[in-house]
Each structure stands twice: as structure tokens, then as C-alpha cells.
């Protein structure tokens, strides 16, 4: 199985400041169709996960533009340009190119 | 609005069986693959199973293969997960998740989850 490794595992951010989460995969996520199947999800406290970013950098419907994704191959990053209180929770990356889909360990983001 | 509502969770003894259901609305259910993902208490996310839009193709994680069966009824907009020979390590919140296409592993909308507890 592809191993997804996130860093850091926890992050404490002052509101209005940027935040960045790294996700590295043990194999390339670039498919022969030219797409890279890397997703980002946020699980807010007490809620189910919600999709933020798909295929590395495309924001899902309704996701604020302060969230952005980048990367290629095996190295990926989720950035929040200005963290807001509602952004607290656990962020997961997931690869969708090889079965089974696998998730990173999660990065817990809290507000200072 | 996409809605996924799971039901059927509960307390079951080791070795027992349980069937989870997921009622879907707000999208053309028969056009999308559907998935189950679970989360043990205080832990991360684990992919469990998937079924293609027409039910013709299924996938199971090694941890549940031979014990769980995924199915769907497109006439009822409902997804199922039949779980048997349950073990303590199957204790988790089980999420029903919508796929982004008729097949494949991309997932977008998640249900609220149903808790399965395997304990004597």
C-alpha cells in the first residue's frame, strides 16, 4: 500500500497568519491519464470529513480561496493563506491512484 | 444538496453480524461509485470498501476481505455494508462516502457516520 506521511502532526496558528501542511507519498501519484490523484480533507471537531482540494490543486465547491493545494509526484502541500477560527480540526491527505486509497495520519490545527 | 444518512450501527458481540445502510439523496445515485470509510475511536481514516455505480465491481481492504460485503440498490438509492465475523478491531465510526465518478477512488461527500462497537 502507498504510505502517506504528513508533517507536522500538529500546528498552532494565530488567526490571520498562514499555515502549511506537507504530505509525502511513498510512490508517485501521477496517473497515465495525466492527472495526479491527491486529495485534502478537513475533519472539524465532532463532524465527518469534508473535501477541500481534489487532484492536488482544485478547490471543491464552496471551499474558500484561502485554501490552496500544490505539488507534484510525491510531494504535496496544503496552504491556508490566513487562518480563521473555523479552520480548526484535523486535515488529511489521501491518495486515490492505487488501491487501496490511503490517508495520511492527519494534522491537527488549532488556534493560538 | 447531497445527503448521505447511515444507519444500522450498534453494539455487537465478537463473531456477530451487522448490516449498515446508507440512504442517499440530492444526486443521481446510480451514476456514482460509493464507498465505506471507517474511523476507530480517536484514530485516523481507513478505507474499507467500494462499489461501482452499477454494482458490477467491488473492492475490499485486506482487513475486511471475506467478512464484509458491499452492495447497492439503485432503485432505492441505498448503499449497504454487510459485516460478519466481527472483531474488536472493527469498532469504528463507519462513513458512507460518495464517489466523484462511476468508478475509481476519488471521494467527495461524506455522511455523518454510524458507530459500530464490537464488544462482549
- Supply A54's cell numbers: 481534489
Residue A100: asked if its preceding bond is cis (omega within 30°), the reply is yes
Q: Does A49 touch chain B (CB under 8 A)?
A: yes
Q: Which of B26, B27, B47, B93 to mutate to test the interface with A (most CBs of A within 10 A)?
A: B47
* Nearest residue on chain A to B1, alpha-carbon basis: A61
Distance between CA atoms of A41 and B61, rounded to whole angstroms?
A: 20
Do residues A90 and A106 make contact, with C-beta atoms less than 8 angstroms apart?
Answer: yes
Angle at B8 between CA B114 and CA B66, to 5 degrees: 90
Distance between CA atoms of B13 and A21, rounded to whole angstroms?
A: 40
Residue B11, min C-alpha distance to chain A (Å): 20
pLDDT given for residue A48 in this prediction: 97
- Which residue has 474488536 as its cell numbers? B88
pLDDT given for residue B103 in this prediction: 79
Q: How many CB atoms lie within 10 A of CB B45?
A: 26
pLDDT given for residue A54 in this prediction: 95
Whether residue A60 and residue B110 make contact (CB cut-off 8 A), yes or no, is no
Kindly give the parts of chain A with pLDDT less than 70: none
Distance between CA atoms of A23 and A21, rounded to whole angstroms?
A: 7
Do residues A43 and A49 make contact, with C-beta atoms less than 8 angstroms apart?
Answer: yes
Could you tell me how many CB contacts below 8 A there are between chain A and chain B? 49
Angle at B91 between CA B54 and CA B58, to 5 degrees: 15
Contacts of A103 in chain B (CB under 8 A): 44-47
**Burial degree of B10 (CB within 10 A; 0-12, 13-18, 19+):** exposed
Per-residue pLDDT, averaged over B103-120, amounts to: 94
pLDDT given for residue A99 in this prediction: 85
Distance between CA atoms of A40 and A56, rounded to whole angstroms?
A: 8
pLDDT of B102 strictly over 80:
no
**Burial degree of B88 (CB within 10 A; 0-12, 13-18, 19+):** exposed
In tens, the pLDDT along B47-71 reads 999 999 999 999 999 999 999 999 9
pLDDT given for residue B105 in this prediction: 85
pLDDT of B101 strictly over 90:
no
Considering only the beta carbons, identify the residue of A47, A101, A106 that sits closest to B47. A101
pLDDT given for residue B104 in this prediction: 81
Amino acid at each position: 500500500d502507498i504510505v502517506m506521511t504528513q508533517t507536522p502532526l500538529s500546528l498552532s496558528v494565530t488567526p490571520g497568519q498562514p499555515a502549511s501542511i506537507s504530505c509525502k507519498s511513498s510512490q508517485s501519484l501521477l496517473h497515465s491519464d495525466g492527472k495526479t490523484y491527491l486529495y485534502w480533507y478537513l475533519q472539524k471537531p465532532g463532524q465527518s470529513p469534508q473535501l477541500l482540494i481534489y487532484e492536488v490543486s482544485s478547490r471543491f465547491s464552496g471551499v474558500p480561496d484561502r485554501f490552496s493545494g500544490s505539488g507534484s509526484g510525491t510531494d504535496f502541500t496544503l496552504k491556508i493563506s490566513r487562518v480563521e477560527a473555523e479552520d480548526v480540526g484535523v486535515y488529511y491527505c489521501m491518495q486515490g491512484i492505487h488501491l487501496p486509497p490511503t490517508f495520511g495520519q492527519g494534522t491537527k490545527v488549532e488556534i493560538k | 444538496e447531497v445527503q448521505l444518512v447511515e444507519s444500522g450501527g450498534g453494539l455487537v458481540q465478537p463473531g456477530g453480524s451487522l448490516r449498515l445502510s446508507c440512504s442517499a439523496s440530492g444526486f443521481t445515485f446510480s451514476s456514482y461509485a460509493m464507498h465505506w470509510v471507517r474511523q476507530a475511536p480517536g484514530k485516523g481514516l481507513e478505507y474499507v470498501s467500494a462499489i461501482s455505480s452499477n454494482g458490477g465491481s467491488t473492492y475490499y481492504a485486506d482487513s475486511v476481505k471475506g467478512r464484509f460485503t458491499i452492495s447497492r440498490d439503485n432503485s432505492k438509492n441505498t448503499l449497504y455494508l454487510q459485516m460478519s465475523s466481527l472483531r474488536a478491531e472493527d469498532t469504528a465510526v463507519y462513513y458512507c462516502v460518495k464517489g466523484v465518478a462511476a468508478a475509481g477512488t476519488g471521494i467527495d461527500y461524506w455522511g455523518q457516520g454510524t458507530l459500530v462497537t464490537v464488544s462482549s
